[in-house]
Structure 1
Amino acid sequence: MRTRHTHNPQPVLRGIAACALLTAAAAAAPAQAQASSQGEAEAIVLRPLSFFKVNDLEFGDIIASGTAGTVTLRPDGSRAATGGVTLAGAGGEPARFAGLGSFNRQVNISLGSNTIWITGPGTRMRVRTFEIGSTPTAVLSTSPTRFRIASALGNYNFPVGATLEVGANQAPGDYSGTFTITLNYL
């Protein structure tokens, strides 16, 4: 079973944002053969006091059983399972967000909801206990948590993990949902 969350950050102050990505592939071939391939290129130009999603929260591949359980994906990328859930492979990664503010500026971060539901081919699953990778890590909620931008350039990034509740005999397939992260620059 594969689970995936798509995240839509909606900051109070928002600008144009995206990740820089360049991919290209070419096949090695003998001197007489010719091959070509297409690649994609993207760029995002940040506006001060903005942030964007770098990657989605991905719980990775899991195997359900006749017993309910959980999968916890921590902000550092480590995974743990309880109950009748088995982790399959090394997959899974926390959501990651990045932004641009100014050195020493305070920022409040909060969630749109403490619990979300992800849906797929079987019974919906609950995602809860969102955790931001800070020092120390902190559980995120609808009440704002404050952090200070420590980079002299004003750039920052942070990972977000969570806990997934997997039902007994959960149907295999892809499950997805969304959560909202809000940043208020003070």
Structure 2
Amino acid sequence: MAAAFALPSATAFAQAAHSQSITTRTQVTDGMQLSNPWDMDFGVVLVQGAGTIVMTPAADTTCTVTGQLIHNGTCVASQFDATGAFLRRIRIRKPAQNRIVLTGPGADMIVSNVVIGGETGILRLTQNGRSRNIRYLVINPDGTFTFKMGGTLTVAADQAPGLYTGQFEVNLDYD
């Protein structure tokens, strides 16, 4: 018994080759630099009852006192000096939960409603409601810019005297 097999020719499976040119791009930029020449300082407070100190971070920082507090000393908003790339979008992220915890000899005090102001060299583009992220455009041709941060310090009526300090993190990213 003979078996016959038919094999297709090799050319029956050959397909025409196609090629396409594809462009790939990347941009390499210098990393941003960030420094903090001035820390946030609410000054000296005499507590005669509960109240708040609202620090507005502008070119000339101001503090407004409410309640039964007597404020003495200069209010200093935290200042940040940075270098980025001209016409790049950046994102500044405020502290977690938009607050800073101050610890000392008594109950913790909270700086809430952390705000950014006193900007130079950058243009504010957007802020998504209560979001911690604020987007800016670097408009200074040499890439340098400055911003300040303030907020609202809440002081309890029975706040123990002493020095209260806290740390917070600010993130700066290209957007």
Contact 1:96 1:157 in 2 (8 A): yes
Identity %: 31
1:170 and 1:140, CA in 2 relative to 1: closer, same or farther beyond 3 A?
Answer: farther
**In the alignment, which residue of structure 1 is the partner of 2:79?**
96
Distance 2:167 2:134 in 1: 20
Aligned partner (choices 40, 43, 59) of residue 60 of structure 1:
43
Name which one, 1 or 2, has greater alpha-carbon Rg.
Answer: 2
Asked if 1:177 is matched to 2:159, the reply is no
Length-normalised TM-score, structure 1? 0.67
TM-score (norm 2): 0.71
Q: Find the residue that maps to 2:158 and give its secondary structure.
A: coil
Say how many residue pairs are matched.
137
Q: How does 1:144-183 map to 2 (within 5 A)?
A: 144-183=133-172
Residue identity in the other structure for 1:100:
T
Instruction: Please report the RMSD computed on the Cα atoms of aligned residues, expressed in angstroms.
Output: 2.2
Q: Which residue of 2 aligns with 1:81?
A: 65
Following TM superposition, the consecutive aligned residue runs of length 4 or more in structure 1 with deviations greater than 4 angstroms are 138-142
Tell me which of the two structures has the higher relative contact order, counting C-alpha pairs closer than 8 angstroms and 6 or more residues apart: 1
Q: Is the 8 A contact 1:112 1:142 kept in 2?
A: no
2:114 corresponds to? 130
Deviations 1:71-94 (A, max 9, x none): 1111021011111111113x1200
Q: Which structure 1 segments of 5+ residues have no match?
A: 1-46
Measured in 1, the distance between the counterparts of 2:155 and 2:146 equals 29
1:109-145 CA distance string (max 9 Å, x none): 1123112211111111011011101478x79965311
